[in-house]
Copies of this chain bind each other. A is one copy, B any other.
Amino acid sequence: MINGRQALRFRGKRITSQRELILRIIQEQGGHLGADEIHRLARRECPRLSLSTVYRTLGLLKELGLVRELRFEEGYSRYEMLGPDKHHHLVCLGCGKVIEFQCAHCARIHRDLGDHHGFQITGSRVELLGYCAECQKRREGR
Number of A interface residues at 8 Å Cβ cutoff, please give it. 31
Copy tally for this chain in the complex stands at 2
Give chain A interface residues in 83-118, CB to chain B under 8 Å.
90, 92-93, 99, 101, 103, 105-106, 109-110, 113-114, 117-118
Give chain A interface residues in 113-142, CB to chain B under 8 Å.
113-114, 117-133, 136
Q: Which residues of A contact B (CB under 8 A)?
A: 71, 90, 92-93, 99, 101, 103, 105-106, 109-110, 113-114, 117-133, 136
Q: Which residues of B contact A71 (CB under 8 A)?
A: 71
A119 CB → nearest B CB, Å: 5
| Given A125-B125, A129-B122, also A117-B105 (CB < 8 A) | no
